[in-house]
Structures are given as structure tokens and as C-alpha cells.
Amino acid sequence: MALGVPAYLVFDPTGEYLGAHTPCRGWQRAGTMVREWLPTPDGRYESRELGVSLQPDGDLLRVFDASGHPMLYEHEKTREIERLRAELAQLRKVSGEGGWRPRRSTL
């Protein structure tokens, strides 16, 4: 089998193609050989080339950064922005100012 990329991961959240036992199956190139890409014990597929790892998360594929922190999905980013805007509005209300600004550090 020829593999023109360093790694290839198939994600099948419905199980229609890979079956119900696993939502992912992957392969990695090792020199001229192609070997099966197995997940880590915690279920992640680590990509050194991309500096991330991938893990099935229901119908989605969760991406983790090089430090192992999950990257937010778009709906999570939207929710976090809304939360931060509400927090800022509350801080402005409490301070009695419309233009609350953080204090300067004395360090």
C-alpha cells in the first residue's frame, strides 16, 4: 500500500464503515513501510507532524494541543465569548463605570 501522506486517519462516528467497535482507524508511514496507527491508552491518536492529538468525542473528533489541552469546538468558543462578555458587563456594572479597565500591575 502506498501512502502519500505521513498519516491517514478515518473517523466514522456512525459505525457505518468501520463497524461499531471503533470510530477510528488509521495508518502511518514509517520510511517506506505503512503501519497501523494505534491510539494511546487514553484513546488519542498522536500526530507528531501536526503537534496535536485526536480523540473521538461522540459525533465529533476532539483536537488536543501539544500540551494535551483540548481545543474548543466552535460552539464552545461562542459560549465562552458570551460568558466573558456577561462577566465584563457585570464588572462594569459593579465598578459603576462604563469603561472598566484592569489595574496596572506594580510588579
Report pTM.
Answer: 0.70
Helix (H), strand (E) at residue 29: strand 24-30
3-class SS at 91? helix
How much of the chain, in percent, has pLDDT values that exceed 90? 57
Q: Please report the pLDDT score of residue 102 as a whole number.
A: 65
What is the pLDDT of the chain when averaged over all its residues?
87
Confidence of residue 20 (pLDDT cuts 50, 70, 90): confident
User: C-alpha distances in angstroms, 27 versus 14, 36, 46, 87, 92?
Assistant: 20, 4, 12, 45, 53
DSSP H helical ranges for the chain: 74-95
With CA atoms as reference, report the closest residue to 56 among 8, 105, 102, 11: 11
Radius of gyration of the chain from Cα atoms?
21
